[in-house]
Structure 1
């Protein structure tokens, strides 16, 4: 039910369907205290001279640690400007801070009042679309000044309900943070494992349980693999068709990003594949713009441009090569063979002349298996993270709108 003093237009502007019983539609400047006088800009040059234990906050993250502090309390922050306003669905717009710290002049500081907790502000605006209230700073840039912040509408439940909702959502936040740390740890462990296995510093066990022995052979990639490139033409794009993969679609995680892929006709696809011919198990390697980011494909329905294609020919297994191409050794070789250039382009001849240190096929297979298992562990954690994030998003949609009410002192409010 909408109170008489609140118009339907105000609800539409606030992107609110209804006001739950017992809640209020307030403006940020009326519900909370804005403490921008606490802010202190400190240049990077000055910060480098005063390192210390206290965090120095920018609009979306900690920017540094310094020797002194301006605030000692609990606050919410929201940036004045930045990409977070456009990426609000996946990037947090707000921060929740506690303790001794300093905040720079690009973030607004929000303090609790008697009726509204700063943590509620942090949760409420964390992923909320507020672009219709912001002023523009050029194409795709928005600004939230203090006057606009004061007028931002927000639903405000009674304080006990705010605190209960915050407690519920913090459970998901802790699980998400824990999973993110596990992913980071597993990723670092995999990098260390790659460094040991791909240099021969660590040797695995063969089928008889003995450690592999013997020197690794040095071979040029083009001598032991079929290395090709894609089209040099610019085919016409259509709405539905075959994906044209470029270096922009190759991610450092070893995956293809097809979210913004462009499509070509079957005729163009067949023409391009006369030159390249992508098959399941082939490796794609960026040649222009993004150099490297090797991806092992699982489909033959791709055409390629600005990307090298590497096919197995017998002695070198792509399951091993996909990891070797991600190694520091390959980065160094490309830089050297490119004569120390900017590396915005790498020629096919350079790729064919890359030197690969090659163990036996059996050892290649063992190394590939160990690293693939490490990838599977990371993939599982990333899926768990995605599930947790989706669960939290669904929960926020019902809790922050009052569609689902919480239990306070044994009663559903």
Structure 2
């Protein structure tokens, strides 16, 4: 255990600001999310502000949010950038005892955050500032330098895997959006050569174009309203937070509510039912989910509408894709009734949704193609969840010494 001031030294090189120069400052995000670069500013706009040149490979703190994990390490990307006195920089002493990447990781642990909190006196809420004298006195667990570097490298490899997995998920979402736009309006690739114009764009000439209301056997109907005092036990209820737009709705993690037999009969969901959020902020209005086969009688809440389609004309999975598409989202936004903090759509709006209607086999092929992307996305999300859990476990175990890296593995 060594105090921070014994293993790191303060680095500060004052910038002589030129009025006609251009400078770029940094900021540091909380929760270990790293450095971000601000927009360039003219020296004249900095005025008398005291700023310092950034140097690479320094541990840097945001003194206002250090207690929230606003700690980072500078790199060559920050060379010739500047920071104010709110971002003190430290680098290892001449005979290094500590690795800055290791220390950055340490300050992401529960112990590291607690120490930063103790060194950040202040009022309630976010009004706290890191005291640099107290920072220098913080006791840090310092394993051998080679082990520190090995620990940092292990955690970096997990972070790289998390970043790569998130990039795959982001790209799959882009692919899905493009697929839906193309398949729902143009059909399967290579199948159609002649198209007709509609108010929403061109569709194959042999497709029907109808409104959703002509394809329904039930609904749209609004859900069950219950006061908060009725929640806690009883029948599972699907609330708006149970799914994201385009999700399958199952029975996992649902809240329960007291409901009479008549209410259960009236609002009970069945496999293939589609739920549409009818009241929300504009960005979330019209969120759509399709119901799997509920494991027990399940109802839905009042800020949603339920509808059931005629499966001899349109597959529930295909109708679900239409309702979850950007085309329908734009349609709902055009018809939304806005109040002070939220907007709404009604049953007539849902019935009026435009549906380009291919044959049932082509509907099945289109639905299957999009579902395959969903399955791949779900697999990547599961992988991301496992990697995040692994990272948390390793962060705790490696930085506390519960898991030690052997000297051979720890060689620089």
Unmatched 5+ stretches in structure 2: 16-21, 42-51, 193-202
Structure 2 CA distance, aligned partners of 1:284 and 1:83? Answer: 44
Which residue does 2:230 correspond to in 1?
237
Q: Tell me the TM-score normalised to structure 1 length.
A: 0.74
Q: By how many angstroms is 1:56 displaced? A: 4.1
Q: Secondary structure at the match of 1:236?
A: helix
Structure 1 CA distance, aligned partners of 2:326 and 2:67? Answer: 33
Q: By how many angstroms is 1:405 displaced? A: 1.2
The alpha-carbon distance between structure 1 residues 127 and 336, as it changes in their structure 2 partners (threshold 3 A), is same
Deviations 1:326-373 (A, max 9, x none): 222112211222267776222232222222222222211111000000
Structure 1 CA distance, aligned partners of 2:249 and 2:103? Answer: 37
- Does 2:268 match 1:277? yes
Structure 1 CA distance, aligned partners of 2:388 and 2:183? Answer: 34
Q: Secondary structure at the match of 2:289?
A: strand
Question: Among residues 95, 115, 127, which one is paired with 2:97 in the alignment?
Answer: 115
The alpha-carbon distance between structure 1 residues 110 and 370, as it changes in their structure 2 partners (threshold 3 A), is farther
The alpha-carbon distance between structure 1 residues 136 and 295, as it changes in their structure 2 partners (threshold 3 A), is farther
Structure 2 CA distance, aligned partners of 1:116 and 1:33? Answer: 11
Structure 1 segment 132-171 matched on structure 2, within 5 A = 133=118, 141=126, 143-147=128-132, 149-150=135-136, 152-171=138-157
- Does 2:101 match 1:99? no
Structure 2 CA distance, aligned partners of 1:79 and 1:259? Answer: 40
- Does 2:204 match 1:224? no
Structure 2 CA distance, aligned partners of 1:118 and 1:158? Answer: 13
Which residue does 1:308 correspond to in 2?
305
Structure 2 CA distance, aligned partners of 1:318 and 1:214? Answer: 23
Q: Secondary structure at the match of 1:165?
A: helix
Q: Secondary structure at the match of 2:392?
A: helix
The alpha-carbon distance between structure 1 residues 321 and 174, as it changes in their structure 2 partners (threshold 3 A), is same
Structure 1 segment 338-377 matched on structure 2, within 5 A = 338=336, 344-377=343-376
CA contact (8 A) 1:251 1:257 kept: no
Q: Tell me the TM-score normalised to structure 2 length.
A: 0.74
How many residue pairs get aligned? The number is: 364
Unmatched 5+ stretches in structure 1: 1-23, 40-49, 86-91, 207-211
Q: By how many angstroms is 1:295 displaced? A: 1.6
Q: Secondary structure at the match of 1:408?
A: coil
The alpha-carbon distance between structure 1 residues 243 and 165, as it changes in their structure 2 partners (threshold 3 A), is same
Deviations 1:300-319 (A, max 9, x none): 42432311112222222221
Q: Say what the alpha-carbon RMSD is for the aligned residues.
A: 3.8
Structure 2 CA distance, aligned partners of 1:249 and 1:81? Answer: 36
- Does 2:64 match 1:73? no
Which residue does 1:401 correspond to in 2?
400
The alpha-carbon distance between structure 1 residues 172 and 73, as it changes in their structure 2 partners (threshold 3 A), is same
The alpha-carbon distance between structure 1 residues 331 and 310, as it changes in their structure 2 partners (threshold 3 A), is same
Structure 2 CA distance, aligned partners of 1:77 and 1:35? Answer: 10
Structure 1 CA distance, aligned partners of 2:384 and 2:136? Answer: 35
Q: By how many angstroms is 1:377 displaced? A: 0.9
Which residue does 2:45 correspond to in 1?
none
Q: Secondary structure at the match of 2:210?
A: strand
CA contact (8 A) 1:93 1:126 kept: no
Q: Secondary structure at the match of 1:400?
A: helix
CA contact (8 A) 2:237 2:298 kept: no
Structure 2 CA distance, aligned partners of 1:37 and 1:272? Answer: 71
The alpha-carbon distance between structure 1 residues 350 and 213, as it changes in their structure 2 partners (threshold 3 A), is closer
Deviations 1:193-247 (A, max 9, x none): 11211221654659xxxxx964432222222123221024426334333333332
Q: Could you tell which deviates more after superposition, 312-321 or 366-375?
A: 312-321
Q: By how many angstroms is 1:81 displaced? A: 5.4
Structure 1 CA distance, aligned partners of 2:66 and 2:268? Answer: 39
CA contact (8 A) 1:58 1:104 kept: no
Q: By how many angstroms is 1:393 displaced? A: 2.3
Structure 2 CA distance, aligned partners of 1:373 and 1:230? Answer: 31
Q: Secondary structure at the match of 1:240?
A: strand
- Does 2:107 match 1:125? yes
The alpha-carbon distance between structure 1 residues 201 and 160, as it changes in their structure 2 partners (threshold 3 A), is same
Structure 1 CA distance, aligned partners of 2:317 and 2:25? Answer: 44
The alpha-carbon distance between structure 1 residues 127 and 256, as it changes in their structure 2 partners (threshold 3 A), is farther
Structure 2 CA distance, aligned partners of 1:221 and 1:390? Answer: 43
The alpha-carbon distance between structure 1 residues 339 and 309, as it changes in their structure 2 partners (threshold 3 A), is closer
The alpha-carbon distance between structure 1 residues 154 and 165, as it changes in their structure 2 partners (threshold 3 A), is same
